[in-house]
């Protein structure tokens, strides 16, 4: 008897695009997709995250072919600051929501991308402990820290894979209180208590 499980983002992406190259390059085609592209300027493109993990979830990407944070140099500071300013503007446009700007310490998708994500985490696409921990632990590196590190050191130090893996494997914990739910469904039910009462996400 096989165990049924839902496809993860990468499997969904690869089954949808069998002929369009490796799933890790999917952001490149999404940057050209009018359904996903929200805005662009000379140096950046903003897209909707195709598998959003919260009610507001955008990705801000450079037009320059920068694969990931390890390729960042001091000369990229104006670009990063522009990405940050766009993220801050999106935050201002959503005054009733708590929104964070940041990067996954070890990104799975190629082309550098800054997440703009609301803290409700109210989404069917948020399914696993790894998803949760990737946005609520120090695996999610604030954009301001990346800019500060680049300003100071001229490069971004890669997180050790052991550290990254242990962050993703940490037991579930609510990002708003001390509750440690046993399962994702329990966590999701609990999240409603934080966000439905005030109507603010």
Of these, 44, 49, 62, 102, which contacts ligand AMP (CB under 6 A)? 49
**Binding status of residue 26 toward ligand AMP by CB under 6 A:** yes
- Written as six digits, the tokens of 131 are 């998803």
Q: Which long-range contacts (CB under 8 A, 24 or more apart) does 11-15 make?
A: 12/51, 13/50
- Phi and psi for 109 in degrees, rounded to 5? -105, 140
With respect to ligand AMP, which residue has the nearer C-beta, 98 or 179? 98
Q: Residue 106, Cβ neighbours under 10 Å: how many?
A: 19
Of these, 104, 140, 164, 195, which contacts ligand AMP (CB under 6 A)? 104
What is the rounded CA–CA span in Å between residue 155 and residue 27? 23
What is the rounded CA–CA span in Å between residue 50 and residue 26? 10
CB 27 within 8 A of CB 68: no
CA atoms within 13 A on the CB side of 128: 11
Contact characters 123-162, Zn ion, x per CB under 5 A: ----------------------------------------
Least separation in angstroms between residue 141's CB and ligand AMP is: 10
Of these, 43, 51, 94, 163, which contacts ligand AMP (CB under 6 A)? 51
Which are the contacts of 142, defined by CB distance < 8 A and separation ≥ 6? 100, 101, 102
99 binds, among Zn ion, ligand AMP, none (CB under 5 to 8 A by kind): none
The reply to whether 194 belongs to the active site is no
**Binding status of residue 68 toward ligand AMP by CB under 6 A:** no
Of these, 129, 173, 176, 188, which contacts Zn ion (CB under 5 A)? 176
CB 138 within 8 A of CB 159: no
Among 5-13, 35-43, 170-178, 180-188, which window interacts with Zn ion (CB under 5 A)? Answer: 170-178
109 binds, among ligand AMP, Zn ion, none (CB under 5 to 8 A by kind): ligand AMP
* Enzyme catalytic residues: 113
The contact set with ligand AMP (CB under 6 A) reads 9, 13, 26-27, 30, 36, 47, 49-51, 53, 104, 107-109, 113
């Amino acid at each position: 008897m096989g165990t049924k499980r839902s496809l993860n983002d990468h499997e969904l992406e690869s089954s949808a695009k069998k002929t369009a190259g490796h799933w890790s390059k999917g952001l490149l085609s999404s940057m050209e997709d009018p359904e996903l592209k929200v805005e662009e300027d000379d140096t950046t493109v903003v897209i909707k995250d195709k598998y959003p993990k919260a009610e507001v979830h955008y990705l801000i990407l450079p037009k320059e072919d920068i694969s990931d944070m390890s390729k960042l140099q001091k000369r990229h500071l104006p670009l990063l600051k522009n990405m940050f300013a766009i993220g801050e503007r999106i935050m201002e446009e959503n005054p009733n929501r708590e929104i964070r700007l940041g990067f996954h310490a070890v990104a799975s998708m190629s082309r550098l991308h800054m997440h703009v994500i609301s803290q409700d985490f109210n989404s069917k696409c948020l399914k696993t402990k790894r998803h949760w921990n990737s946005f609520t632990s120090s695996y999610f590196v604030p954009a301001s820290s990346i800019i500060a590190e680049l300003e100071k050191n001229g490069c971004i130090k890669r997180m050790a894979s052991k550290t990254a893996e242990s962050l993703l494997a940490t037991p579930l914990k609510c990002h708003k209180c001390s509750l440690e739910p046993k399962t994702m469904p329990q966590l999701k039910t609990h999240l409603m208590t934080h966000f439905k009462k005030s109507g603010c996400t």
